[in-house]
Amino acid sequence: MTAPATEPADLTAMDWYNEPPGWTVEGTSLHVVTGDRTDFWQHTFYGFARDDGHFLSAEVSGDFTASVTVEGDFEELYDQLGLMVRADEHTWMKTGIEHTDGDPHLSAVVTNGRSDWSVLRLAGHSGPLDLRVTRHAEAVRVQFRDAGGTWQLLRLAYLDLPRTCRVGVMACSPQRAGFHARFHDLRVGEPIPRDLHG
């Protein structure tokens, strides 16, 4: 997948890592029902390693920007969905909406051998949210916006990726099965400019 993101990605041509028990593609939308107690996490703080979350992706070489609109039926602690960039089980980044402390939060986890975690409460948020991830060599930029809003920076992180990695959407439900996640208009293409403040 190397063309500019002028058209939505062909979801039917992408590959599952840990295929979920339920999923459908309707046009440019993907609907996922998660399996039981699924997650991506490596060691830090919690002490365990998990690599059984659901990830639909394609290979991308060099710098890129990926964007998607997400929404889900959040009920249990750590229900989550969003974008993922991945080299292997020890080198990846996931970002999106995660249900914690009774509210949806913007979440970003960066894993270079071990996982970290940052969250931002989305007080009063409901409905869809736009996410965007850009790779600039070893830097990964995470942005978000409400519908019709302006892109805001959530995270700028170091990620030790090879030239070719996998990019796509992920969903997990570490406490249960049956989280319903929806993804719309996934696009992967040329990177946006490096200006952080334009």
- 145-189 tens-digit pLDDT: 986 789 999 999 999 999 999 999 999 999 999 999 999 999 999
Burial of 193 (0-12, 13-18, 19+ CB in 10 A): exposed
Which CATH topology does 11-188 take?
A: Jelly Rolls (2.60.120)
Least confident range of 47-56, 91-100, 119-128, 173-182: 119-128
Assign 198 a pLDDT band (cuts: 50, 70, 90). low
Q: pLDDT class for 128, splitting at 50, 70, 90? A: very high
Looking at residues 184-198, what average pLDDT do you find? 92
CA distance 96 to 103: 13
Find the mean pLDDT for residues 14-32. Answer: 98
The answer for residues whose C-beta is within 8 angstroms of residue 66's C-beta and 6 or more apart is 5, 60, 83, 85, 132, 133, 134, 167, 168, 186, 187, 188
Q: What is the pLDDT of residue 44?
A: 86
pLDDT at 104 over 80: yes
> Which residue in the block uniquely carries the two structure tokens 């028990």?
21
Cα(69)–Cα(140) distance, integer angstroms? 19
* pLDDT at residue 5, rounded to an integer: 57
User: Shortest CA distance to 186 belongs to which of 46, 31, 38?
Assistant: 31
Q: What percent of the chain has pLDDT over 90?
A: 85
Q: What is the pLDDT of residues 73-88, one digit of tens each?
A: 999 999 999 999 999 9
Predicted confidence (pLDDT) at residue 1 exceeds the cutoff of 50: no
